[in-house]
């Protein structure tokens, strides 16, 4: 039974504050590491990576792969309720994150669990593609 306590440490708070201050912008782990290495109270690589993982697992952070960017990008999505029950669509062109609530997804989860014996984790899953605004631009 893994039940991390999530102690309230200075580092944890500082990292979360920083990501929130970016106001939804994407940031790589490397950028965060660099940011905190120049601070009066520096924070180590390891700590940053571990907190990013934890914040992902609690749904506060979303993680993306971006073509041409070395390393993975993170984005703060906050405490919005319901992120456990819906999926996310990410436009690869404009970067827009769309929260998609739809019972089609419940059926998808059910189908994959029943027919493919696989339990989807909606918190970590992001569907990539192109939004309507960007497809119209073409």
Partner DNA sequence: TTGCGTGCAAAGGTTTTGCATGGCA
Partner DNA sequence: TGCCATGCAAAACCTTTGCACGCAA
DSSP 80: -
Q: For residues 53-92, which are near DNA according to CB under 7 A?
A: 53, 70-72
CB of 45 to DNA, least distance (A): 5
In 3D space, the residue among 101, 98, 107 whose CA is nearest the CA of residue 127 turns out to be 98
Q: Encoding tokens for residue 60?
A: 């506060």
Q: Is 100 in the site for its own copies (CB under 8 A)?
A: yes
Q: Is 1 in the site for its own copies (CB under 8 A)?
A: no
CB burial of 34-70 (b: ≥16 within 10 Å; e: otherwise) equals ebbeeeeeebeeebbeebbeebeeebbbbbbeeeeee
Residue pair 63/124 in contact by the 8 Å Cβ criterion: yes
Q: Is 125 in the site for its own copies (CB under 8 A)?
A: yes
For its own copies, give the closer residue by CB, 25 or 127: 127
CB of 9 to its own copies, least distance (A): 26
Q: Encoding tokens for residue 26?
A: 């994407």
Q: Which span (42-50, 82-90, 104-112, 127-135) binds DNA, by CB under 7 A?
A: 42-50
> Which residues make up the interface to its own copies (CB under 8 A)?
63-68, 89, 91-92, 98, 100, 102, 104, 108, 111-112, 115-121, 124-132, 135
């Amino acid at each position: 039974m893994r039940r991390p306590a999530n102690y309230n440490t200075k580092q944890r708070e500082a990292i979360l504050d920083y990501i929130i201050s970016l106001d939804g912008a994407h940031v790589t782990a490397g950028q965060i590491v660099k940011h905190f290495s120049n601070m009066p109270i520096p924070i180590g690589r390891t700590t940053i990576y571990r907190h990013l993982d934890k914040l992902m697992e609690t749904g506060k952070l979303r993680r993306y792969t971006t073509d041409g960017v070395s390393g993975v990008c993170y984005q703060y999505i906050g405490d919005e309720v319901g992120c456990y029950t819906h999926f996310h669509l990410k436009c690869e062109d404009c970067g827009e994150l769309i929260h998609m609530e739809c019972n089609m997804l419940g059926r998808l989860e059910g189908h994959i669990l029943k027919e493919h014996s696989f339990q989807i984790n909606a918190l970590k899953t992001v569907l990539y593609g192109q939004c309507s605004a960007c497809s119209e631009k073409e």
